[in-house]
Structure 1
Amino acid sequence: MPTINVRKSDLERLVNMDLSDAFIEEKFPMMGVEVEEVFEENGEKFIQFSINPNRPDYLSAEGLARGFRGFIGIETGLKRYDVYESDIKVYVEDVKTRPYIAFALVKNVQIDDVVLESIINLQEKLHWTIGRDRKKVAIGIHDANKVEAPFYYKEVDGDEIKFIPLNSEEEMTPREILEKHEKGIKYAHLIKDKFPIILDKNGNVLSMPPIINGILTKVTTETRNLLIDVTGTDKNAVENTLNIIVTALADRGGTIFKAEVIYADEKITYPNLEPKVKETTPDFINKTLGLNLNVGEIISCLRKGRMDAVYENGKLKVFIPAYRVDILHEVDFAEEVAINYGYDKFAGEYPIIGTIGEVDKLEKKCDFIREVMIGLGFYEVVNLTLSNQKILFENMRLDVDEKDYIEVLKPASVEHRVVRTSILPLLLETLRINKHKELPQRIFEIGDCVVIDENFETKGRNIKKIAGAVIHPTANFNEIKSYVEALLRELKIDYELENHSHPSFIEGRCAKIINNEKEIGYFGEIHPEVILNFDLEHPVVGFEIEIL
């Protein structure tokens, strides 16, 4: 899960009360925010919070303070934010790579070093979570006094325009930024042929999304009026991100002003902070939680969660603040009631029915396989089922389309955003991490993989697999073949071997395993390019078999 470091003094200022360390460590976990540690740095006390990915509004001190004030009853109910008219207009040309943009102006924000640090941290955390490391959403925050409306969002050629990017003193073209600038090199993969640019009335560059802002609009402690742009590939994500930012700035005392975004076929005014409305029933909430709360108690819990609710015709109409992007189903209201009712008040009960537990047959087979592999001299490792495209596909020389795997919507880390379809790449990554250890190394893993299957309701299907890898200077095809055949023999599986062409293996040194005319696995010598991609220095052989 993402973590944020918050200055204790800043949190106390926003909550408007003194907070002891013990009080923080007791209360915040009860509202669903884990306290990782309390530490001091340069004489200043900090609290590190671990934030659930479904609560991006908690990724700032402002959001945490807002939620905490409701949780402990200082300020309950829906917090209303006034949004004033302005003459800001943003004209959008045909931007194919990142077609959506939202704008807003927040005036009179008193920015000191602490507030500036908080703004930058929120921006980066939203980039990683909602933005998927800027792929889906990118944020620009600017000194509004340095530019003049109207603004223009368009795509340009790489050499069409020049400006000085942040953290640079050199004027560059967009193409040069991708080649020379630290941020440009890091995020160059997000831009292809055309370069998105945001300009003001006078042709000044505010931003080159999703790479870098221009130095002209750099925010400092002298800045008072902030212009926010959010661009991306998903309209809802763009709008939600803007709402989270402007409400956080309003909690710092800022005043929110509208901006009109003008497309070729429509006009949209941002930000839209009107509450969303969903319905539930007291019966559903009580049945879900096993409680017997009356309507007033349920509404009180929802108000502590910074919502409002009214009871009409047997239903609860719940008003959800615009920054709460996690409320998708009425079960989310039940969770909100549980949090604010207090998890410590729930009493455990034994189930009425009696059951006799038994180990699943597949798990019994997995336990047997473990014994066989250990007997063959392998060590078992356990990796996460989440990884990323580089390890699973790029390093393995696999050309895989996005529709062939499942990606996490709001990953806690960019390194763990794809549900693995194979175990072998993670074994190679394990070998890379342990390459300083003596050779030979023989490791295996038994675990779940997930593949796309349209026949399932979830469009995905779990598969149990066994994979193994061996590394040492003389590792070869015959060695891994002997291990695989020993395993298949112990499992009493009838099989046939056929030549197999696989991008991750050396051509002519890979075989597939056939059982009842179905391919259940493969093995062979790993391709030299794959070995180098994982920074390994010796031959590697490996196998992967589906456990039926």
Structure 2
Amino acid sequence: MVMLTYAINEINEILGKQINTKKYEDVSFKYGLDLEVGKDVLNFELTSDRVDIVSKYSLSNVLAAGLDISIKRDKNIGNESPGIIIEKTYRPFVNILHVKLVNKLGEDITEIIKMQERLDKNVGRNRKKAAIGIFDYNKIDFPIRYHMEKSKNINFSPLGYDSKKTYIEIINGLDKGKEYKELLGKEPIIWSDSKKEIIAMPPIINSNFHSVTKETKDLLIDITGTDASTVNAVTKILLYNFQFIGRVSILSAIYKENKINPQFSLDTHKFVLSEDSVKSVLGCHVSANQIARILKCMDYSVKVSGKDIAVEPPFYRQDIMHQVDIIDDVMRSIGVENIPSITPHSYTEGGNLQDHYSINNIKEVMLGFGYLEIDINTLTNERYQFGDTYIKGENYASLMHLKSGEVTMASKNIFPELLRLISNNLHKKFPQNIFSLSDVVVIGGSEVGFNNSKRLSIVSCSKDVNVTEILSIVKKVLSDSFSLDNLKTKYNGEELSKTFIPGRGYDLFIGKNKIGFAGEVHPRVLNSFGIELPIAIAEIYIGDILYEL
């Protein structure tokens, strides 16, 4: 979650109108913004889907759409070639922007620093996937070069210091150095100018001389990182937000190798809506012209042809992945309260699904063992599912039209997501015993080539955990929930041979049917997730047991 707090007068000034708190509450509710009103202050809590809202300007722009107000924004995007060379490094992807501010930076210096921090943390994953540097453009001597440099040659005045510091002094003596030094490779990366002066050492810290002040009129912004899609996403968000306070240009660079070019583009995926497709979701008729008017107010490009509407989302909207996302925007503008209710033509008696009682029984057994139930996201990425678990990445459902490197596939196994959760909660008390009854996506069995399948994943993390303990829980689940008492084990095959400690990993069988796997996690996997205590896991194919055994 991202928290944005602004004085009411500050937002009113951007909107150019005096808006009362009641209107702010109404509009916020309409557009899914969680608003808490304080004394002369608006506290907004934003969900992860609107990562483009990172400043008072982009926030005000959303509010303006609901209040039928237009905010000035320079949508013209320039292209410049001042002389920038990008060499191959371990953070290979780089985009650069130039912002000519309408006015001196002034008090907005605080706003852009907060915007940088929000993006570095939430989208850039604490600078690991992408990091932002902001400089005074007029203090830079072009051409500039992005390259690796020997650590012994690092000697410059870092941000906030007048005296020069060596590489060791920066990474071991400065707060930012200590916080982010784990992101560095064998040698640091630097930006250097035509005089061979160091401008910055990304993703750690910038040079003090090239830093921005309240008097700054022109900004140079670099976005560097390890993931091209994340670097491009951050660039789009920055470009959008800075359009409210200046003219933005994209700076072209010479990339020494084509594979390190992030291929930045403002093109977005195009959709076609129809009056019928909108009605099928909302349950009421909305004319093509009305849909077009609504979407234009939200910065969509639209073209009406009879009852069809060709739609192109704004380049900065990372959350638009499907027609339904666009229809959701239409619904928010109309207002849920204004969509008429419809009496159903027929009535049916509801009932529990076939697996309801078995699933509930499993949960009761797990809770009885002191395990905490976790709901996980079905969508994940190859790194967590395969890379960090040392499983061969094959036979899985990948996603199309990707908006983020964080979400690229549907889960094939549940346990990697539970390991990920533990790694994010190392500050909590141990032991940590958790389970999840969730769907994974498996190949085969339907016209689209994939099926949802229910799995039970059990993960125990403590200093004394072992696979025997986990297997005893599995036997209890099978006995109480399915009256199955003939569980057999066999040492894991090749697929999980690197995931579990040799001799401590098993495939699980009922008769000749494989119904899951269990084992003690190998230290190499624990290291991937930054976990120091031993972990034992089991994953049971509940869907197969319910419908096939």
The aligned residue for residue 29 of structure 1 is: 29
**SS of match in other structure, 2:155:** coil
Match 1:520 to one of 515, 522, 537: 515
Runs of 5+ unmatched residues, structure 2: none
Match 1:62 to one of 52, 57, 63: 57
How far apart, CA to CA, are the structure 1 residues paired with 2:278 and 2:214?
A: 47
Relative to 1, partners in 2 of residues 1:523 and 1:355: Cα closer, same or farther, differing over 3 Å? same
The aligned residue for residue 18 of structure 2 is: 18
2:125 aligned partner, one-letter code: R
The aligned residue for residue 244 of structure 2 is: 251
Match 2:479 to one of 489, 493, 504: 489
How far apart, CA to CA, are the structure 1 residues paired with 2:283 and 2:393?
A: 41
The aligned residue for residue 155 of structure 1 is: 148
The aligned residue for residue 99 of structure 2 is: 105
Please tell me the root mean square deviation across aligned C-alpha atoms, in Å. Answer: 4.8
User: How much has 1:359 moved relative to structure 2?
Assistant: 2.2
2:508 aligned partner, one-letter code: I
2:345 aligned partner, one-letter code: I
Relative to 1, partners in 2 of residues 1:511 and 1:321: Cα closer, same or farther, differing over 3 Å? closer
In 1, are the aligned partners of 2:3 and 2:43 still within 8 Å (CA)? yes
The aligned residue for residue 71 of structure 1 is: 66
How far apart, CA to CA, are the structure 2 residues paired with 1:407 and 1:398?
A: 18
2:456 aligned partner, one-letter code: K
Match 1:295 to one of 283, 288, 291: 288
User: How much has 1:351 moved relative to structure 2?
Assistant: 3.5
1:43-66 CA-to-partner distances (Å, cap 9, x unmatched) read xx4423232333222221100112
In 2, are the aligned partners of 1:3 and 1:50 still within 8 Å (CA)? yes
1:69-92 CA-to-partner distances (Å, cap 9, x unmatched) read 22211228x955234565623222
2:62 aligned partner, one-letter code: G
The aligned residue for residue 83 of structure 2 is: 89
User: How much has 1:301 moved relative to structure 2?
Assistant: 1.0
User: How much has 1:465 moved relative to structure 2?
Assistant: 0.5
1:203 aligns with 2:164: no
How far apart, CA to CA, are the structure 2 residues paired with 1:99 and 1:256?
A: 20
How far apart, CA to CA, are the structure 1 residues paired with 2:68 and 2:43?
A: 23
How far apart, CA to CA, are the structure 2 residues paired with 1:405 and 1:168?
A: 51
In 1, are the aligned partners of 2:414 and 2:539 still within 8 Å (CA)? no
In 2, are the aligned partners of 1:421 and 1:451 still within 8 Å (CA)? no
1:449-483 CA-to-partner distances (Å, cap 9, x unmatched) read 6467598859785442152649798x777666555
1:193-232 counterparts in 2 under 5 A?
Answer: 193=186, 195-232=188-225
1:421 aligned partner, one-letter code: I
How far apart, CA to CA, are the structure 1 residues paired with 2:450 and 2:41?
A: 43
Q: How many residues align?
A: 526
**SS of match in other structure, 1:356:** coil
1:470-509 counterparts in 2 under 5 A?
Answer: 482-490=472-480, 491-493=482-484, 494-498=486-490
1:27 aligned partner, one-letter code: V
Match 1:465 to one of 453, 456, 468: 456
How far apart, CA to CA, are the structure 2 residues paired with 1:102 and 1:90?
A: 9
1:24 aligned partner, one-letter code: Y
How far apart, CA to CA, are the structure 2 residues paired with 1:429 and 1:185?
A: 20
Relative to 1, partners in 2 of residues 1:197 and 1:383: Cα closer, same or farther, differing over 3 Å? same
**SS of match in other structure, 1:104:** strand
How far apart, CA to CA, are the structure 1 residues paired with 2:221 and 2:169?
A: 25
Relative to 1, partners in 2 of residues 1:320 and 1:385: Cα closer, same or farther, differing over 3 Å? closer
Q: Percent identity?
A: 23
**SS of match in other structure, 1:241:** helix
How far apart, CA to CA, are the structure 2 residues paired with 1:419 and 1:134?
A: 28
In 2, are the aligned partners of 1:5 and 1:49 still within 8 Å (CA)? yes
1:90 aligned partner, one-letter code: I
2:489 aligned partner, one-letter code: L
Match 1:166 to one of 154, 159, 174: 159
1:56-455 counterparts in 2 under 5 A?
Answer: 56-75=51-70, 80-83=74-77, 88-95=82-89, 97-113=91-107, 115-167=108-160, 171-172=164-165, 177-178=170-171, 180-193=173-186, 195-235=188-228, 237-252=230-245, 254-264=246-256, 279-312=272-305, 315-318=308-311, 320-373=313-366, 377-386=368-377, 398-399=389-390, 421-422=414-415, 425=419, 435=429, 445-448=435-438, 450=440
User: How much has 1:329 moved relative to structure 2?
Assistant: 4.2
How far apart, CA to CA, are the structure 2 residues paired with 1:125 and 1:458?
A: 40
User: How much has 1:519 moved relative to structure 2?
Assistant: 4.4
**SS of match in other structure, 1:154:** strand
Relative to 1, partners in 2 of residues 1:233 and 1:226: Cα closer, same or farther, differing over 3 Å? same
**SS of match in other structure, 2:359:** helix
1:159-187 CA-to-partner distances (Å, cap 9, x unmatched) read 44433333556645557645554334443
Relative to 1, partners in 2 of residues 1:524 and 1:219: Cα closer, same or farther, differing over 3 Å? same
Runs of 5+ unmatched residues, structure 1: none
Q: TM-score, normalised by structure 1?
A: 0.77
In 2, are the aligned partners of 1:167 and 1:215 still within 8 Å (CA)? yes
**SS of match in other structure, 1:57:** coil
**SS of match in other structure, 2:203:** coil
How far apart, CA to CA, are the structure 2 residues paired with 1:33 and 1:9?
A: 19
In 2, are the aligned partners of 1:102 and 1:238 still within 8 Å (CA)? no
How far apart, CA to CA, are the structure 1 residues paired with 2:249 and 2:461?
A: 62
1:48 aligns with 2:38: no
Relative to 1, partners in 2 of residues 1:214 and 1:365: Cα closer, same or farther, differing over 3 Å? same
1:474-532 CA-to-partner distances (Å, cap 9, x unmatched) read x7776665554444433332222346698887766666533233543456778899799
In 2, are the aligned partners of 1:276 and 1:322 still within 8 Å (CA)? no
2:338 aligned partner, one-letter code: K
**SS of match in other structure, 1:216:** coil
In 1, are the aligned partners of 2:190 and 2:200 still within 8 Å (CA)? yes
Relative to 1, partners in 2 of residues 1:291 and 1:219: Cα closer, same or farther, differing over 3 Å? same
Relative to 1, partners in 2 of residues 1:224 and 1:405: Cα closer, same or farther, differing over 3 Å? farther
In 2, are the aligned partners of 1:386 and 1:419 still within 8 Å (CA)? no
In 2, are the aligned partners of 1:304 and 1:340 still within 8 Å (CA)? no
How far apart, CA to CA, are the structure 1 residues paired with 2:78 and 2:468?
A: 74
How far apart, CA to CA, are the structure 2 residues paired with 1:205 and 1:260?
A: 21
**SS of match in other structure, 1:497:** strand
**SS of match in other structure, 1:337:** helix
In 1, are the aligned partners of 2:418 and 2:459 still within 8 Å (CA)? yes
2:85 aligned partner, one-letter code: Y
Relative to 1, partners in 2 of residues 1:166 and 1:447: Cα closer, same or farther, differing over 3 Å? farther
479-488 or 302-311, which deviates more? 479-488
User: How much has 1:341 moved relative to structure 2?
Assistant: 2.0
In 2, are the aligned partners of 1:480 and 1:542 still within 8 Å (CA)? yes
